[in-house]
């Protein structure tokens, strides 16, 4: 259970008051394992209430499923499930932009298959499907379907290279003026272990974007080559972990179009003692629409930054408390200008002992 306060929950540049709220989150983890099969899930719900500038109650639901089956040469996997959250919780952190504070329902279905050809060479394939709906007329529902396939090669004990071809199709499902886009592409990634405690990854490749926007005057078709790239590095210390990442990507959104994001994130954790931990997360996102027209208007470029230090304390065997502060800043290249917020959170968690069965 946690209590929250935010000085500007909706990040509006207009006059506003603070918002108080509570979150009650029951959750259960289920896992099963045999010699070849792994199955796991963490089912959770958030019962949320806000008061003050925003007076509303809603429920988030998280029902993921992960399955992996292994043979001597093949690994078949699946990840997917249902996520029901609000746009300020998920979409803002992913894209840096949110048009409305509302509930989002997202179903995902992602099967994968990997076959080992030799000790160093493997073939990989996967399918991506997601269906997203919003409980607001201001946002546009959409569907994403795609697939990928390629090779994974172990160059050495420290180096691994991957080459994938992919195809993704995005389309809106309830907009009066539809939008759809297809972007096949190629991606190459290289992972290098500098040491046992330091690992880095580089990836990049082109996407050949073709989009069609419906307007009252007819369809508008556009074609463009978009270069995507990413890099990440993780360093393990005796008591700390540092993770740095950057990605340039195409992301679907409730605006009814694809958003190009430049996303950088730095996360650090430090174990002060056996019962006390602290962490710091800094996130920055630059976002722009790959097509400017959206719901009869234009999509402005935007910037979003968040900073969150957190302290957690396990004061009893099954009890833990957390306190955190979050600063958020957002700016649109429009007359709306910029907005910022300050938020605090205090949470108490009870985790009962796990039940296990074997035969």
Q: The CATH number of the domain where 335 resides is what?
A: 2.40.160
pLDDT of residue 335: 59
SS (H, E, C) the chain: CEEEEECCCCCCCCCCCCEEEEEECCEEEEEEECCCEEEEEEEEEEEEEEEECCCEEEEEEEEEEEEEEECCCEEEEEEEEEEEEECCCCHHHHHCCCCCCCEEEEEEEEEEEEEECCCCEEEEEEEEEEEEEECCCCCCCEEEEEEEEEEEEECCCCEEEEEEEEEEEEEECCCCCCEEEECCEEEEEEEEECCCCEEEEEEEEEEEEEEEEEECCEEEEEEEEEEEEEEEEEEECCCEEEEEEEEEEEEECCCCCEEEEEEEEEEEEEECCCCEEEEEEEEEEEEEECCCEECCEECCCEEEEEEEEEEEEEEECCEEEEEEEEEEEEEECCCCCEEEEEEEEEEEEECCCCCCCCC
User: What tens digit of pLDDT does each residue of 122-147 get?
Assistant: 999 999 999 999 998 888 999 999 99
Q: How many domains does the chain have?
A: 1
User: What tens digit of pLDDT does each residue of 237-247 get?
Assistant: 999 999 999 99
In a domain, 29, yes or no: yes
In a domain, 291, yes or no: yes
pLDDT of residue 296: 47
In a domain, 168, yes or no: yes
| Mean pLDDT calculated for residue range 16-37 | 93
In a domain, 357, yes or no: no
pLDDT of residue 347: 96
In a domain, 16, yes or no: yes
Full residue range of the structural domain in which residue 223 is found: 2-350
pLDDT of residue 298: 62
In a domain, 356, yes or no: no
The reported pTM is: 0.88
In a domain, 21, yes or no: yes
pLDDT of residue 288: 86
In a domain, 184, yes or no: yes
């Amino acid at each position: 259970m946690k209590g929250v306060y935010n000085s500007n929950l909706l990040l509006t540049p207009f006059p506003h008051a603070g918002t108080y709220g509570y979150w009650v989150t029951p959750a259960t983890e289920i896992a099963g394992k045999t010699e070849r099969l792994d199955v796991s899930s963490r089912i959770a719900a958030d019962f949320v209430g806000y008061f003050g500038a925003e007076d509303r109650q809603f429920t988030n639901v998280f029902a993921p499923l992960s399955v992996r089956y292994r043979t001597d040469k093949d690994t078949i996997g699946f990840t997917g499930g249902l996520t029901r959250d609000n746009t300020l919780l998920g979409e803002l952190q992913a894209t840096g932009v949110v048009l409305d504070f509302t509930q989002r329902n997202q179903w995902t279905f992602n099967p994968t298959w990997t076959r080992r050809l030799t000790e160093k060479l493997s073939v990989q394939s996967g399918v991506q499907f997601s269906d997203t709906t919003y409980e607001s007329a201001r946002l546009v529902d959409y569907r994403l379907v795609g697939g990928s396939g390629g090779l994974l090669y172990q160059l050495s004990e420290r180096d691994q290279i991957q080459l994938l071809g992919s195809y993704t199709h995005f389309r809106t499902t309830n907009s009066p003026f539809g939008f759809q886009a297809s972007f096949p592409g190629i991606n190459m990634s290289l992972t290098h272990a500098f040491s046992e405690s330091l690992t880095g990854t580089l990836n990049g490749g082109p996407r050949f974007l073709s989009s069609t926007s419906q307007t009252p005057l007819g369809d508008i078709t556009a074609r463009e080559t978009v270069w995507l790239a990413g890099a990440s590095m993780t360093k393990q210390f005796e008591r700390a972990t540092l993770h740095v990442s950057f990605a340039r990507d195409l992301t679907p959104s409730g605006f009814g179009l694809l958003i190009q994001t430049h996303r950088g994130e730095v996360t650090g954790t430090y174990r002060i003692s056996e019962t006390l931990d602290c962490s710091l997360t800094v996130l920055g996102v630059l976002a722009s629409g790959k097509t400017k027209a959206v719901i009869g208007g234009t999509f402005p470029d935007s910037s979003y930054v968040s900073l969150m230090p957190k302290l957690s304390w396990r004061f009893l065997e099954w009890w833990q408390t957390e306190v955190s502060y979050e600063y958020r800043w957002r700016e649109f290249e429009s007359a709306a200008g910029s907005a910022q917020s300050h938020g605090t959170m205090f949470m108490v968690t009870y985790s009962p002992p796990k039940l296990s069965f074997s035969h």
